Amino acid sequence: MKGDHEQLRELLGLYILGGLRRDEARAFEAHLNDCPVCRQEAAELESLPGMLDAVPRDEALELAEPPVEEIEQNTKRLLNELVVRRRKARRRVAGLVAAVAAASLVIGAVVGPVVTAPEQEMDSYTMASSRGLQVDLDLVYKRWGTELAVDGEQLPDSGVLSLWVTDSTGKARQVATWKATPAGRARLTAATDVGTEDIVRVEIKNDAAVPVASVVTRD
């Protein structure tokens, strides 16, 4: 229905900026699969978060400080205008992006970190081993899959280590490799297109493909 489309379309800005909860993002992604108009607009705005990050906070705040009651309306207008301008002349986007950044920062100041610093949805685990390894693992939900943050001590101090993810179908895939350090420490971030809810096991393996630490994330 047209009304439902317009309501969902209003979430486009928050979706691109990462401000939707996991369930809201999934619902919006389902809408994108069925709506070529919103899908096209999402593609055109995909680079917006990176552009906003490039705008210094102080400069963005100086660009626009609308009254509280106008923030939501102005933000929607600016996002819509951005789509139009990108179609007409991509070189003119920089100024508009700064304005959107200012509106986003004001929203953050008024209602908390909704747009500028959304809370990350993640699951935290401790990877176990018979050798007494200490490895902390965070699985961070992303629209495109999962970000894996690994922080480990007492890991093997030689050879090459690798990080593996097994999904709900039983398929295992390597998502990172690194050289072992003499101190046996490792702190790294990896990524996979497998959704957080579909990851059932995470392992660290040595260069002989033998697991040195692992954790089961789903039964």
Is residue 175 within 8 A of residue 163, CB to CB? The reply is yes
- Region for residue 97 given its phi and psi (left: phi exceeds 0; alpha: psi -120 to 50; beta: otherwise): alpha
Give the pLDDT score at 77.
64
Highest mean pLDDT (candidates 27-36, 116-125, 140-149): 140-149
pLDDT range class, residue 48, cuts 50, 70, 90:
low
Span 191-208, pLDDT tens digits: 999 999 999 999 999 999
**Tens digits of per-residue pLDDT, 7-26?**
777 777 777 777 677 777 78
pTM of the model: 0.52
Q: What is the CATH number of domain 122-216?
A: 2.60.40.200
- Specify burial of residue 45 (Cβ count, 10 A radius: 0-12, 13-18, 19+): buried
- Which residue ranges make up each domain of the chain? 2-111, 122-216
Structure tokens at 30: 């389902």
| Rounded-to-integer distance, Cα 69 and Cα 107, Å | 11
